Chains A and B, each alone.
Chain A
C-alpha cells in the first residue's frame, strides 16, 4: 500500500535581494508501508529539503505531497495536524535534536503521549533500541553520539509512526556505529510495519538497508529502482558516476574515477538536462531539453 506520494514537488528558498533557490525542482517519490526507500545524492542536491517538506517543516512552492490519502500541510503556528503525527523524523545531529535539559525517559514519553500509548514505557523503547532499561533517568550528555541517535530513534518510534524519516541520521556518528544504527532503523521500521525514507550521502550504507533507491541530482530524482538492480546496472550517467566513485577494497590500488566539475548553483541551474555540463555522454538534445521521465530521467533511456 502506498503510504507517501510526492508528486512534482518544488521547494524554493527565498532570501530577500537574491534569486530564489530551487532546492527541490519537481521531484517525485513514493514510499509504501513496510518499505525502505534510500534517497541518495551529493550534499546540496536537495534531499534534506525534500524530507523536511514531507514532514511539513518547509512549505512546498508547488506540487503535491500525499500521506495516507491526505495532503501534508506545512507547519504553522498551531499544533501539527493529527493526521501528520504518523510521520516522525530522526534528524542528523543527535547533539541538537535532543533537549539537553530533560531526562531521556521524559523525552521518549512525549512520543508515547502522542500515540496515546499508556501500556508501553520509555524503558521498553530503550530496550528495543539496544540500550539498558535503567538509563531513562539520564540526560543526553551522558551518552555517546551513537547512543543519542538510538534515543532519538526510540523517541520517534514511541509515536508509532506509519512513516519514519531519517535525514542523514548516521552522518554525525562514528564510522563504526553508522552501519549498526542504520540497520537498527531498518529493523525497527519494518517490524512495526512502517515505511522508512532513509536519506544519506553514504551509498554503502543505503545499499545494506534500502529496498528501493532514489538518486537525486540538483533537486530532481534522476533514477529510481530496486537497490540490487540499480547497483548491478546503474543506467543514469550520474548514478554510474556516483557508484563508480566508491573505491573497491580489492587491493588493486585503483583510484576511483573523479566526476568532473562541481554541483552547479541551484539558484541558476543549467538549461536542458541538469546533469549535462558534467555528463561524459551528453548529446545535443541534453543541452536543449530537460528529460522528464521515469524511472531514469536521461535521454539515453527515453521510454518508447
Chain B
C-alpha cells in the first residue's frame, strides 16, 4: 500500500462534501475514481494533499508510509507535496506558469526538494522531457508554455509532477481538455510511467472510456461516498451498484 485513505470526511461551511471515503492506492497500479461532478472525486484528490479551500474541516486519515497527511504540520507537508505525492490538473494552460520557461518550472522544485545544483537539475529536466516524449528537449527547456500545444503542455505538466520521483501521482481529469487523438497519447504515457516507475496513480475522471483504458482498479463515487470499488473489468462489465449501472447506461449508444 502506498497511500491509504480511510474514512475521509470533509465539510465546507456546514455542507458535508465527503462522508467517509475509503481508497487504497498500490504501486504500479492506476486507481480510477469516477462519478458525476459534485460527487466529491476532485475533493478527494485535493484533500490528500491538503489543498482544500479555506474553512474546510477534515476528519479521517490519509496514510502515506505510516504518516497521516491530514494532521501533518504544513512545514512537513510541504516536504511531501511535489516530492512524494504530486498532482496533475485538468487544464495544462492554467496549471503551468505562463511567464516562466519550461526549464525553470521543471528544475525549481527539484533544486528545492532534492537540493540539486543548477547543472544537475537541468540534466535531469532534459531526461524528463525525453521520458514524456517531448521532441527537441534542449530547445524545449528554453521555451514558454504558450509555445506548446495542449497535449504537449499536459506532457510537460506530467514531467513537472514526476521531477522529484514521487511515489504517488494524483491526476485530476488530465485528458479532459485534450483532443481524443492527443488524449490517447497521454493515456499511453500515464500507463507506461505507472508500469515502468511503479508509480501509484489516482486517476480522477468522469469519462468511463478513459477509465476502462488505463485503470486497474475502479471506484465510483456518489454524494461524497464511494459506492462501488473493484477490479476494472468487474466494475465496468458487471456493476453491482445501481448508480454505476446508470452511469454506464448513460453512455451514448454503447451497447457492446
Contacts and interface: CB of A to CB of B under 8 A. Distances in A.
Contacts of A248: 209, 212, 254, 256
B252 A247 contact: no
Interface stretch (B8-16, B58-66, B112-120, B178-186): B178-186
Interface stretch (B19-27, B102-110, B138-146, B233-241): B233-241
Nearest to B236: A251
Contact of B206 (A171, A175, A253): A175
A43 B236 contact: no
A103 interface: no
B80 interface: no
A175 B172 CA distance: 13
Contacts of A255: 184, 187-188, 191, 213-214
Contact of B184 (A174, A175, A207, A245): A245
Interface in A33-51: 42-44
What does DSSP make chain A's interface, helix, strand, loop or mixed? loop
Contacts of B180: 201, 203, 242, 245-246, 256
Nearest to A41: B179
Q: Which of B149, B150, B180, B256 has the most CB of A within 10 A?
A: B180
A177 B206 CA distance: 11
Max count, chain B CB within 10 A of own CB: residue among A207, A241, A254, A255: A255
A250 B38 contact: no
A97 interface: no
A262 B254 contact: no
B187 A256 contact: yes
Contacts of A20: none
Nearest to B34: A249
B248 interface: yes
Interface in A203-251: 203-204, 207-208, 241-242, 245-251
A248 B248 CA distance: 11
A174 B206 CA distance: 10
Contacts of B206: 175-176
A42 B235 CA distance: 31
B232 interface: yes
A253 B232 contact: yes
A251 B185 contact: no
A249 B176 contact: no
Contacts of B234: 251
B173 A253 contact: no
Interface residues of A, number: 32
B45 to A, nearest CB: 15
A257 interface: yes
A101 B182 CA distance: 38
Nearest to A262: B149
Nearest to A42: B179
Interface in B132-181: 149-150, 173, 176-177, 179-181
Given A175-B173, A176-B36, A258-B185, A247 B179 contact: no
A285 interface: no
B239 to A, nearest CB: 10
B192 to A, nearest CB: 9
A208 B252 contact: yes
A262 B134 CA distance: 12
B79 interface: no
A296 to B, nearest CB: 19
B140 to A, nearest CB: 13
Interface in B211-252: 211-214, 232-237, 248, 251-252
Contacts of A262: 149
Closest 5 CB pairs of A and B: A251-B236, A247-B209, A249-B208, A247-B213, A175-B206
28 contacts: A42-B182, A175-B37, A175-B176, A176-B38, A176-B206, A177-B37, A204-B251, A208-B252, A242-B180, A245-B180, A245-B183, A247-B207, A248-B256, A249-B208, A249-B248, A249-B254, A250-B212, A251-B232, A251-B233, A253-B213, A253-B214, A255-B184, A255-B213, A257-B184, A258-B184, A258-B185, A258-B188, A259-B184
